Amino acid sequence: MDRKTVQKLVGSIGSTVTSFTKSELECLVKLFHTFVKSNDIRPDIVGLDRVAFRRILHSIFGMTDDSLMNRVFSAFDKDKDNFINVNEWVKGLSVFLRGTFEEKLKFCFEAYYLNGDGYISREQIFDMLKNSLNQPSNEEESYEGIEELVDITLKKMDYDNDGKISFADFEKAVKEERLLLEVFGPCLPEAKNCLEFEALAFKHILTSGF
C-alpha cells in the first residue's frame, strides 16, 4: 500500500478515532493490510474474515473461547458484512487498547447480544453461561445448575423485571459492581496482551520516518 493511500485512510479514520496518534494510526493501517495480504480470501475483498480475525484474537490477544471470539468479531463488524474493514479494525482496537470504561461497557454489551434487538435474552444468558462453565457428566444436573445461575443473574441485573437485560440494566449493574463487566465471558483482552500488541504494532514508529 502506497504512502498516499495510507495517509488518506489515516485522515479519514482520525476524524472519528482520537485515541491514537497519526503515527500510530499509520502503523495500524499498515498492519491491517499485512494481515489481509497474508489471508487467502477473494482479491476483491479488503478485509479480515471471521477465521483470520479469530486467529489474531487467539495468537495475539490470547483468546481461546470460540463462542466469545465469534461475539467479538460481531462487535467489531459494525456493518455486518462478515468482514472487518480497516475502519472497523481501528475503531475496535481503540476500545481494546485505550477505551474508556464507558466504551468498554458498551462494547461488552454489544458482544453479548447477537439478535439485534438491543437486549440480552434469557436464552442468550443460558447459552453463554453454558459455554463458559465446566459441564458435569449429568446433563440434567448441568441444565438445572445453569438455569439457577440464569435466575441469579437476572435477579441481580434485570432492574425492570422484564426477563431480559437492556443496556440500561447492564450499565447500572456494572457501574454498581465492575466485576460484572465481563460476567458472560471475557470479550476484552488482558492488559499484558494489549501491551504486547502495541509493542508489535508500533515498534517501527521511531525508526520508520512516519
pLDDT (tens digit per residue) in 118-131: 999 999 999 999 88
Q: Does 77 lie in the same domain as 157?
A: no
CB 27 within 8 A of CB 43: no
Q: Does 197 lie in the same domain as 93?
A: yes
Specify if 207 maps to a domain. no
Euclidean distance between the first and the last CA atom of the chain, given in angstroms as a whole number: 14
Phi-psi domain of 4 (left: phi exceeds 0; alpha: psi -120 through 50; beta: other):
alpha
Q: Does 68 lie in the same domain as 110?
A: no
Q: Does 54 lie in the same domain as 123?
A: no
> Chain-wide mean pLDDT for the chain?
89
CB 81 within 8 A of CB 68: no
* CATH number, position 56: 1.10.238.10
Q: Does 150 lie in the same domain as 196?
A: no
The string of DSSP letters for 35-98 reads HHHTS-S-TT--SB-HHHHHHHHHHTT----HHHHHHHHHHH-TT-SSSB-HHHHHHHHHHHHH
Specify if 174 maps to a domain. yes
Specify if 42 maps to a domain. yes
pLDDT (tens digit per residue) in 29-69: 999 999 998 765 554 567 999 999 999 999 999 999 999 99
Q: Does 157 lie in the same domain as 128?
A: yes
Cell of 102: 464507558
**Domain of 37, in residue numbers:** 3-100+190-201
